[in-house]
A = this chain, B = another copy of it.
Amino acid sequence: MDKSEIDTPALIVDLDVMMRNIREMAKLARERDVKLRPHVKTHKVPEIAKIQVEEGGRGICVQKLGEAEVMAANGLNDIFITNEVVGQVKLSRLARLREQVDVYVAVDHPDNVSDLSRTMREQGLELGVYVDVDSGMHRTGVPPEKAPELAEAVSKSEGLYLVGIMAYEGHAGGPINREERISLINKAMEQTLLAVRLIRQRGIEVGEVSVGSSATVRYSSTFEGITEIQPGMYVFNDYYLVEREAATIDTCALHVLATVMSRPSPERGVVDAGSKTFHFDMNRYPIAVGIEGVEIVKFSEEHGWLILRGQAQEKIKLGDRLEFIPYHVCPCVNQFDILYGLRRDKVEKSWTIAARGKVT
């Protein structure tokens, strides 16, 4: 199939750019001597997860049990759920999954440690656990001072063993100002390594020290003591990362292909892709590429409202197909069922986004 035959809106991925992104991150991990666990919540496609593992990933990360189940069913067998798994229905699902593959979870609460332990004991299983340390994001996780207590609880719990700690510095990638980012990463790594020291002082071994988002990992992975990184967005990149100097327009592998479906006036247009296509979690719009003077300024659910400037006012016709880089690629991919992989203008792959919508 040719690109021109793809109906819109559609997710299209430049396979050459994607492969280069995958290999560069694997190379960085090798050079820094850290384990790479790509976070597959970005693409949710088992086939891409397998490519990432083949190219140098030593396992994967997912954010949800449902994603882990899909990945396991498709042959992935070393899966870290970088999140707390809470509630009886999920614990039973987790036990069934643990029977099939190596799966790990994060914990930040002693009650959850007890529940996990009981579930695994009852099933005669052993589950690897990362203590979730809050290194400054203030979402989940325990502060470094409380990490030893939780690590000890895990170590002493039948059916569980301590893999190490996780300390996700997602907040540190936020600021567009470089100095602010670096400062937040420094503080986050300080807190992370403090947790490691405090746990070790209690005589408990810390195996993995897992950190890193695509926006921060090139710097956070340089800290002595970090053993594992979990970037996700780098596989495609997006405009969030471009603004934070972690990607360039040319390394953005994924575009949304859309059609101009209305041209109400010279300076206005509408494409057939809105908030149900791009998502809108960061309150920022996608960026048109390959053409000057086209800007999305508003969404309806199925409409992208365009302002056209300069030559674009004459150039853009009803039925034209435009390409956009999502501002935040992860929730955008999650809106679709299919991901088209292209080389030049030929569709080489048509992947099912098998873990799309796996929110439980």
CA distance A331 to B275 in the complex (A): 8
- Would you call A20 an interface residue if the criterion is a C-beta within 8 Å of the partner chain's C-beta atoms? no
* Contact call A264/B142, Cβ cutoff below 8 A: yes
Report chain B residues within 8 Å CB of A317. Answer: 111
Report chain B residues within 8 Å CB of A112. Answer: 318
Q: Pick the contact of A281 from B86, B89, B134, B275 — CB < 8 Å?
A: B275
- Would you call A77 an interface residue if the criterion is a C-beta within 8 Å of the partner chain's C-beta atoms? no
Which residues on A are within 8 Å of B, measured CB to CB?
5-10, 41, 63-64, 83-87, 89-90, 93, 108-109, 111-112, 115, 134, 138-142, 170, 259-264, 268, 270, 272-273, 275-277, 279-281, 283, 299-303, 305, 317-319, 321, 330-331, 334-337, 356-357, 359-360
User: Knowing A89-B5, A139-B300 touch, does A359 contact B334 (C-beta < 8 A)?
Assistant: no
Report chain B residues within 8 Å CB of A276. Answer: 330-331, 334, 359
* Chain A binding surface SS class: loop
CA distance A263 to B139 in the complex (A): 9
* Contact call B359/A64, Cβ cutoff below 8 A: no
Report chain B residues within 8 Å CB of A261. Answer: 83-87, 140
* Contact call A302/B63, Cβ cutoff below 8 A: yes
User: Knowing A111-B318, A134-B264, A301-B41 touch, does A359 contact B273 (C-beta < 8 A)?
Assistant: yes
Q: Pick the contact of A87 from B142, B259, B337 — CB < 8 Å?
A: B259
21 contacts between A and B (CB under 8 A): A7-B87, A7-B93, A41-B301, A63-B302, A84-B261, A85-B261, A109-B262, A111-B317, A111-B319, A134-B264, A138-B264, A139-B303, A140-B261, A275-B279, A276-B331, A276-B359, A279-B279, A279-B281, A283-B283, A336-B359, A356-B357
Which residue of chain B is the closest to A270 with respect to CB atoms?
Answer: B140
Report chain B residues within 8 Å CB of A321. Answer: 87
Which residue of chain B is the closest to A10 with respect to CB atoms?
Answer: B360
* Contact call B359/A335, Cβ cutoff below 8 A: yes
Which residue of chain B is the closest to A356 with respect to CB atoms?
Answer: B357
* Contact call B86/A318, Cβ cutoff below 8 A: yes
Report chain B residues within 8 Å CB of A111. Answer: 317-319
CA distance A114 to B247 in the complex (A): 43
Task: Name the residue among A134, A141, A259, A317 with the largest chain B CB count within 10 angstroms.
Answer: A259
* Given A87-B259, A279-B280, A280-B280, 18 other A-B residues pairs in contact with their CB atoms under 8 A: A7-B93, A7-B360, A8-B87, A10-B360, A64-B302, A83-B261, A83-B302, A86-B261, A86-B262, A86-B272, A86-B319, A108-B264, A134-B264, A170-B300, A283-B283, A301-B331, A302-B359, A337-B357
CA distance A318 to B109 in the complex (A): 8
* Contact call B134/A7, Cβ cutoff below 8 A: no
Which residue of chain B is the closest to A110 with respect to CB atoms?
Answer: B318
Report chain B residues within 8 Å CB of A280. Answer: 279-281, 283
CA distance A283 to B335 in the complex (A): 18
CA distance A141 to B269 in the complex (A): 11
Please give the distance in Å from A169's CB to the nearest CB on chain B: 13
Q: Pick the contact of A262 from B89, B140, B330, B335 — CB < 8 Å?
A: B140
Report chain B residues within 8 Å CB of A64. Answer: 302
* Contact call A301/B330, Cβ cutoff below 8 A: yes
User: Knowing A275-B279, A357-B336 touch, does A268 contact B138 (C-beta < 8 A)?
Assistant: yes
